[in-house]
Homo-oligomer: A and B are copies of this chain.
């Protein structure tokens, strides 16, 4: 029985190197989405640029999705099972302005948004901001 991280990398066609396994495990172990810095601090012996490149590869191969929550740091979260990062897979995120955690709101799909003539949607970054249950 292969570990979860290795399994995911195999399915998504990403070569399971040491750094990549560590980074993906770190993301899987944490409920909230993590910034490059979070991961760097969590994996104290892995270089920032290697983590960075792992995350870029993960994003490209749809292992993770990134969230621009306006905190100044991009957050990363493992894509939920079945996610292909298509518009219909998109979900809202919640950024707590107090503890600065960013959560995936997987229960609410994003509605169809009526765009002006000839505008074509590719993806979206939807962030609700406020106080999370722990901070309100």
With a cutoff of 8 Å between Cβ atoms, the chain B residues found around residue A122 in the complex are 97, 129-131
A128 sits at the interface (CB 8 A): yes
Grouping DSSP codes into helix (H, G, I), strand (E, B) and loop, the A interface class, with mixed when no group exceeds half, is: strand
Which B residues are in CB contact (< 8 Å) with A107?
114, 116
Q: Is A45 an interface residue (CB 8 A)?
A: no
B94 touches A119 (CB 8 A): yes
Q: Please give the residue numbers on chain A whose beta carbons come within 8 Å of chain B beta carbons, in ascending order.
A: 68-70, 92, 94, 97, 103, 105, 107-108, 111, 113-133, 136
**Chain B residues near A128 (CB, 8 Å)?**
113, 115, 121, 124
- Complex contact B131–A115 (CB within 8 A): no
Chain B residue numbers with a CB within 8 Å of A105 are 113, 115-116
